Amino acid sequence: MAPHNKIRDDILSYREMCDAENIQTLQRGMNFRMNPSYSVILMSQRANAPYRDKVYEDGITIEYEGHDVPKRSYDHNPKAEDQPHKLPGGKLTQNGLFAQAVARFKSGNSPPELVKVYEKILPGVWSLKGYFDLVDCKVVQDGSRKVFRYILQLSDRVDVGSSENQTISQVHTRLIPSEVKKEVWKRDGGRCVMCGETKNLHFDHDLPFSKGGTSISAKNVRLLCMKHNLQKSARIE
């Protein structure tokens, strides 16, 4: 089995996420080439999320919405304006930078931009979904304004990260819906159900898909720390 070709669901605190990116605070959702070799986006499928991001049914494709103009004053409504491609001075916005990368890819001049994706699960709780290829971008009409929509597909070009991450990626993980993750996180109190550890947690599906695992609900998902996740994986394989 290719160890990396599936969406990951490694759970991180906000602090762990920032530390992983060697940055004090991650404030923006879109971060073009924040790292010399990849970009970073923060997505959310929460009901009150400011943008409409989603994971497709295929489990490997993400649709990500571009970002609005900054709020200029108390009564300014960014949602009433087109999402900007350029700043007033002519420099590209984050929307523009990601769109330019798609154009370069489509013209055959460069490989797709590599994008590391994190998803907000709850306040302070994030999931690392892995590395994706930025393959498409379009500007669409959304009500009375125009917004950017980007298409990202799980990348098979990279097996990036520390040896620890590579070990984790060998554990059976499949896409678990955000709603289920939220429910499980609350039920298990943000701790490994075996030992109470609160760091490096993973959503564990109790029937591996390879052995006919069933549909995913909170009943067959639980939180495990890295150690217990790996122990379980060793037993199954």
Task: Give, as one character, the DSSP assignment of residue 219.
Answer: G
Min separation Cβ 224 and Zn ion, Å: 6
- Pairing verdict, β 38-44 and 113-122: parallel
User: Alpha-carbon dihedral of residues 98, 99, 103, 109, nearest 10 degrees?
Assistant: -10
Min separation Cβ 195 and Zn ion, Å: 3
Positive or negative: CA dihedral 119, 130, 93, 36? positive
- Out of 134, 137, 175, 192, the residue judged to bind Zn ion by CB under 5 A: 192
Min separation Cβ 221 and Zn ion, Å: 15
Cα end-to-end distance, the chain, whole Å? 12
Q: Where are the beta strands (DSSP E) in 178-220?
A: 201-205
Per the CB < 8 A criterion, the answer to whether 68 and 81 are in contact is: yes
- Out of 197, 208, 220, 230, the residue judged to bind Zn ion by CB under 5 A: 197
The reply on whether position 194 binds Zn ion by CB under 5 A is: yes
- Over the window 205 to 234, marking each residue x when it contacts Zn ion by CB under 5 A and - when it does not, the resulting string is --------------------x--x------
Q: How many residues line the site for Zn ion (CB under 5 A)?
A: 6
- Among residues 21 and 197, whose Cβ is nearest to Zn ion? 197
The residues that touch Zn ion, with contacts defined as CB under 5 A, are: 192, 194-195, 197, 225, 228
